[in-house]
């Protein structure tokens, strides 16, 4: 295992059945962990969507869409109190923010795509199409995030260098 990796990005997607009003939101849960070494941190993103349809004369159309992005950040409870480690932690936070911005854009693209679904013969078909679009958008998001991380050498090209 390569110890120099600073953040692990995992996108999970799950369609949801409940009806919700159109609203994009982000929730960040921060949990400290004594089990992590100071050079490691972990961020998991969960992208979910909810869609309901309305049957009209032209078919079933999206009437309500909600896309949520939840980020769970796990980092050590205590960091070494040296200037080098404090700078590292600041760089890690800045790098995670850049990744999170890309994840948020993915959520916005998904929301827009779901609202643009053409009328379907029935609302069950609409939900199937929405799930297909959701999983397709998720694959695109995953690829874009992986490319960003690799292009920036997992933050090293942006100044994220672990102190010795």
Cα–Cα distance measured from residue 75 to residue 55, given in angstroms and rounded to the nearest whole number: 47
Instruction: Answer yes or no: pTM beyond 0.75.
Output: no
Cα–Cα distance measured from residue 128 to residue 38, given in angstroms and rounded to the nearest whole number: 44
Is residue 131 within 8 A of residue 62, CB to CB? The reply is no
Is residue 137 within 8 A of residue 65, CB to CB? The reply is no
Token pair in block for residue 117: 């679904």
Is residue 27 within 8 A of residue 71, CB to CB? The reply is yes
Hey, which residues does 48 pair with through a beta bridge? 14, 68
Q: Is the pLDDT of residue 7 over 80?
A: no
Q: In the prediction, which pLDDT does 110 show?
A: 93
Provide the percentage of residues in the chain whose pLDDT is more than 90: 31
Instruction: State the pLDDT confidence band at 26, using cuts at 50, 70 and 90.
Output: very low
Q: What does pLDDT average to over the chain?
A: 77
Provide the percentage of residues in the chain whose pLDDT is more than 70: 76
């Amino acid at each position: 295992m390569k110890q120099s990796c600073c953040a692990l990005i995992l996108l999970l997607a799950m369609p949801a059945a409940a009806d919700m009003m159109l609203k994009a939101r982000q929730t960040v849960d921060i949990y400290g962990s004594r089990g992590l070494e100071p050079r490691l941190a972990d961020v998991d993103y969960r992208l979910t969507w909810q869609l309901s349809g309305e049957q009209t004369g032209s078919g079933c159309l999206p009437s309500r869409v909600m896309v949520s992005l939840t980020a769970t950040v796990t980092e050590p409870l205590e960091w070494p109190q040296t200037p080098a480690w404090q700078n590292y932690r600041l760089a890690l936070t800045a790098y995670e923010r850049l990744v999170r911005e890309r994840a948020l854009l993915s959520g916005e693209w998904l929301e827009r795509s779901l609202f643009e679904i053409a009328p379907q013969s029935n609302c069950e078909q609409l939900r199937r199409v929405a799930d297909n679009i959701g999983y397709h958008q998720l694959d695109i998001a995953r690829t874009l995030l992986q490319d960003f991380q690799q292009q920036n050498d997992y933050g090293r090209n942006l100044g994220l260098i672990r102190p010795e």
